[in-house]
A and B are shown apart, each in its own frame.
Chain A
């Protein structure tokens, strides 16, 4: 299942955010979009999930324009987990996961055996079977995120898109979610595309890093090819030391200063004295 963009322009209201984007997502791999705030990485992800219609150009799913495919068909090929998704009050985990079967159900058709199997499988994959009857509000942040991932899994799509799936989670829950995604990629062959903020997590878990700056992809490739002093300085405005992750051999960066000439904030105490 190939996902790519062709001369894609994206924007909100009057503002263009992404210009002339030609991006190919590597099938069967984990691709991670990184870049500073407002660079357009979430915008790109949303357009890949056809949540944002293109201004110009197209998003292609196996060579077909995604806007022209029936939306339920698209929902069987790619599942998107938005940032901070909201559910109606009082939903249980299992009820939430059942909504992942929506693309397979018709208005009057009931639940089929394959629906039931997909829901059970999704709960098992995410370790949520024991929480199936718990209300979503009663879960911890990490459990809740796993429940949402389970819903996306129940869609049984070859492609998973996730917008900052680790935001607002503590470190151990962040790793829990990322390791779950790695396992789904390795064992189930899922293509994973996600936005991450932590560069070292991106370096460690991505097959492909996609560096976005000012609405353009400025670098794409293996973390060891892409992450270096120059990218950190030019894209993130940071000076950084680089180490190697002792386990994976991937680059590990330690930012130590802003790469800008002038300081960002004026020292207020000095001003007061003067």
Chain B
């Protein structure tokens, strides 16, 4: 029985990967111009041909959009999984502890101050902002040397809201060009192009494998300070690296899709239910679930009332916020 479940857990990862492929292919057909599966296949065969409208739509619009959505959803989810483990707080999630809004605000500043900055400047600036915001939330949450989960979440939500309001305020006053370049920050995959993928991808290719390699250290950190140190973990260094990693994953994702509300909360929680809390399975499952969630939400957002577009972040927030409330009640009771 137990062994059977252990075996099943291993098959969950390929199943989720398959799920992502299915959702991705389905997403190719949905939008203002609807395509059947056969039309999608035909258009995929004609990708190079400029005269095939379907192929142009797929290549110019939908493919980058799906890839950016999947990648950023995965990064938000991995970030949530890492933060929840390291802070030992089920409520920790990049958009709850201030990281996402900090990254968004910093992205605006970066583009305003360095309008001609190279592609990589935006994610780097966002990471800096995300980390500063997290440090601020964490310091505000410490009371008598301890950080209570609920306190961190409440202060995090407040800081997140303030930073996000500040970002919107600045964008109102900014030139049209800058404002337009950053409209996606509200949390939408709409308008994601290949350039946006190239902006995010190199960072993802560095951060995601790094997180996977460090899975055992993340496990040991989630035992808490005393046990982690007894096991020979260099606690301060280990925690710093893990937090930087968690913050960077979400901050880079913000420069791809803006803040996709609660993806960093729901995806790792669902993953934990499926594969348990050890990171060697939790991280891959979170990555895949985050990708599925965002691509799915964005497909719905395109398909519900075409040709109108609903921001994908709106849908994920609609699903995530009630779950967050439920979680707050549960964590509140446990204390």
Contact = CB atoms under 8 A, between A and B. Distances in A.
A5 B83 CA distance: 37
**Residue in B213, B217, B223 with the greatest tally of chain A CB atoms within 10 Å:** B223
Given A50-B229, A95-B278, A133-B3, A86 B220 contact: no
A88 B215 CA distance: 13
B85 A88 contact: yes
Contacts of A100: 231
A246 interface: no
A107 B214 contact: yes
Contact of B223 (A85, A105, A155): A85
Contacts of A108: 213
Contacts of B231: 75, 99-100, 102-103, 155
B232 A72 contact: yes
A242 to B, nearest CB: 36
A89 B277 contact: yes
B111 interface: no
Contact of B272 (A49, A90, A134): A90
**Interface size band for A:** 35 or more
A101 B329 CA distance: 37
B220 to A, nearest CB: 6
Contacts of A88: 85, 219, 222-223, 277-278
Contacts of A76: 232
B251 to A, nearest CB: 24
Nearest to A86: B224
A13 B145 contact: yes
B224 A85 contact: yes
Interface in B1-28: 2-3, 6
Contacts of A92: 2
Nearest to A46: B226
Given A72-B232, A90-B277, A95-B278, A80 B226 contact: yes
Interface string A60-95: 000000000001111110011110011111111001
Contact of B230 (A73, A82, A107): A82
Contacts of B227: 82, 85-86
**Interface size band for B:** 20 to 34
A153 to B, nearest CB: 13
Contacts of B224: 85-86
Contacts of B223: 85-88, 99
B233 interface: yes
Contacts of B145: 12-13
A82 B216 CA distance: 21
A13 B223 CA distance: 24
A219 interface: no
Interface string B250-283: 0000000000000000000000100011100000
B229 A99 contact: no
A22 B219 CA distance: 36
A51 interface: yes
A90 to B, nearest CB: 4
Nearest to B282: A88
A81 B231 CA distance: 10
Contact of A71 (B225, B234, B277): B234
Contacts of B217: 107
A250 to B, nearest CB: 31
**Residue in A51, A100, A102, A103 with the greatest tally of chain B CB atoms within 10 Å:** A102
Interface in A1-57: 12-13, 46, 49-51
Contacts of B88: 86
A73 to B, nearest CB: 8
A87 B222 CA distance: 7
Interface string B182-216: 00000000000000000000000000000001101
A61 to B, nearest CB: 13
Contact of A80 (B6, B219, B230): B230
Nearest to A103: B232
B272 A74 contact: no
Contacts of A91: 276-278
Contacts of A105: 216
Contacts of A49: 229-230
A20 B327 CA distance: 47
B232 A75 contact: yes
Nearest to B88: A86
B214 A102 contact: no
A107 B216 contact: yes
Nearest to B228: A102
A49 to B, nearest CB: 6
Given A51-B229, A75-B232, 5 more contacts: A12-B145, A13-B145, A73-B232, A95-B278, A133-B3
24 contacts: A49-B230, A51-B226, A51-B229, A51-B230, A71-B229, A73-B232, A75-B230, A79-B230, A80-B226, A82-B226, A85-B227, A86-B223, A86-B227, A89-B272, A90-B272, A95-B278, A99-B219, A99-B220, A100-B231, A102-B233, A103-B231, A103-B232, A107-B216, A155-B231
What are the nearest 8 A-B pairs in CB distance?
A: A75-B232, A82-B226, A103-B232, A72-B232, A88-B277, A80-B230, A90-B276, A133-B2
